[in-house]
Amino acid sequence: MANKGFFARYIGDKYFYRTVLTVAVPMIIQNGVTNLVNLLDNVMVGQVSTAAMSGVSIVNQFIFIFNLLIFGAVSAAGIFTAQYHGMGDTKGVRDTFRFKLLISVIAGIASIAVFATCDDGLIKLFLQMESDSTGLSPTEALLYGKQYLWPMLIGLIPHAISQSYASTMRETGQTFVPMVASTTAVLINFALNGILIFGLFGLPAMGVIGAAVATVVARFAELFILVIWGHRHSEKCPYLVGAYRGFKIPRALFAEITVKGLPLMANEFFWALALTLRNQSYSTCGLEVVAAQNIAVTIINLFSVVYISLGSAIGIIVGNQLGAGEIEKARDTDRKMIAFAIVCATAIGLVLIGCSTLFPMLYKATEEVRGLATFMIIVSSCALPFFSYTHAAYFTLRSGGRVGVTFIFDSVYMWVVVLPTVMLLSKFTDISIYWLFIAGTAAEALKCLFGVVFLRKINWARSLVSEPKK
């Protein structure tokens, strides 16, 4: 009987997994293709030189902060989008879409201003500006980083607008089109990378500049697909009808999204900033660490798309159920989806450990860099089940609008526990990068204990929206 109770609580039926996979699989494919192309991009840039790969990797960490800032912006309104859709309120969905556009474009403009004026100083944060015993040149890495950054700035606004469209489509059940748009974009990016980086078909070899140009072209391609399809299929995206007419957002809704959503946006920004500063602390151990971590993170991200997409699916499915007033059903769905995510992450971690020595061989790097990358892959793989739980817990808390708790759970934990652990050890001890990386990863994995407490003690399952607007 105990086993039957356990299975009933944590394992769903065929209909349950069919529903989950219908939402999650398009996101898994989309994120999987994106990360696969990122891996191939990294390999191609790495063929230029290790310094080029390091310079691009450093810039991409700042682009990562921007991407999460945009994610936070659209997610702030996305909590309400999912619930409005769950109760059939098209006007509410339209208003949240307008909020996303407004905030994400403002965030894009501000980010361009910061990157354009602080490019040199930001990149130097990750570089010890004296060549070390490995022979890697920080000066070269700085030059490559600046060459890559400036063209990338052109693609920030298109990306911000694309995410406003794509997130709203996903939250209203249209997951296929964002997948197609993203997949098309990354394939364009991959094809152009090969042509522009190495100068194929008679074109000049542009190196890292070519990699940036390819990314920008792909950003515009993704935007065009989303915009054209969305506005031509008003029956599937009714919220886009009149979305730009007057562009009014009810003050009460604007204030509510701001109160509940800006902490979420701030959370994404501060979490990404803490992650970047943690990586900067790792980089004080040498430029080879930047290259090795770039290899390891790219591969880990490729294999993590399953549990990451399942976490996003929790926000959509559970959010829809909460909006429809199905509170107990939402709790049951959430519990089973978390269990499913952990099982998937465990299986993925085992596969990664088995293949950990193979992936670094794809790169034109020193044996020291490859060995360190292999070690980082193994350590990160062991932590994937814990990361999957914390990721699912984050989206669970967010689906019920518990943004204050998510801020504590995500950003505050990073700034109070993870970042001090890594920074203090790197600055005041002679600890090797191997033990330093273990300490940082263990500190992140321990966050799952707080997730267990928060989900048990906090009433996260609640509806945020009222009756549909006429």
Query: Do 363 and 46 meet the contact criterion of CB atoms below 8 Å apart?
Result: yes
- Output the pLDDT for position 288: 81
Position 463 in a domain: no
Position 467 in a domain: no
- Output the pLDDT for position 68: 79
- Output the pLDDT for position 128: 63
Position 5 in a domain: no
Both structure tokens of 217: 């072209």
Residue 160 CB neighbour total at 10 angstroms: 27
Position 38 in a domain: yes
Position 6 in a domain: no
Q: Which residues are CB-contacts of 428 (< 8 A; sequence separation ≥ 6)?
A: none
Listed residue (300, 310, 154, 313) closest to 223, CA to CA: 154
Calculate the alpha carbon distances from 271 to 68, 115, 266, 413 in Å. 9, 19, 8, 9
* Torsion sign across C-alpha atoms 374, 140, 37, 384: positive
By the 10 Å C-beta count (0-12 exposed, 13-18 middle, 19+ buried), 245 is classed as exposed
- Output the pLDDT for position 270: 87
- Output the pLDDT for position 1: 46
- Output the pLDDT for position 389: 93
Q: Phi then psi for 230, rounded to 5 degrees?
A: -60, -45
Position 466 in a domain: no
Quote the domain boundaries for residue 236: 13-457
Q: How many domains does the chain have?
A: 1
State the Cα–Cα distance between residues 27 and 241, nearest whole angstrom. 25
Residue written as tokens 């152009």? 192
Eight-class DSSP state of 417: I
Position 216 in a domain: yes
Digit-by-digit pLDDT tens for the chain (470 residues) are 455 566 667 787 788 888 888 888 877 876 777 677 667 777 777 777 777 877 887 888 888 788 878 887 887 788 788 878 878 888 888 988 999 998 889 989 999 999 888 878 888 877 765 555 455 567 788 888 888 889 999 999 999 999 999 999 988 888 789 888 988 988 898 889 889 988 888 888 888 899 889 989 999 999 999 999 999 998 899 999 888 887 788 888 888 888 777 777 788 788 888 888 898 888 888 778 888 888 888 888 888 888 888 888 888 888 778 877 778 888 888 888 899 999 999 999 999 999 888 888 877 778 888 899 999 999 999 999 999 999 898 888 877 767 778 888 888 999 999 999 999 998 888 889 999 999 999 999 999 998 888 888 877 776 665 554 44
Beta strand extents in 119-215 (DSSP E only)? none
Eight-class DSSP state of 365: -
- Output the pLDDT for position 347: 93
- Output the pLDDT for position 217: 94
Both structure tokens of 237: 């995206």
Q: Where are the alpha helices (DSSP H) in 304-366?
A: 305-323, 327-354
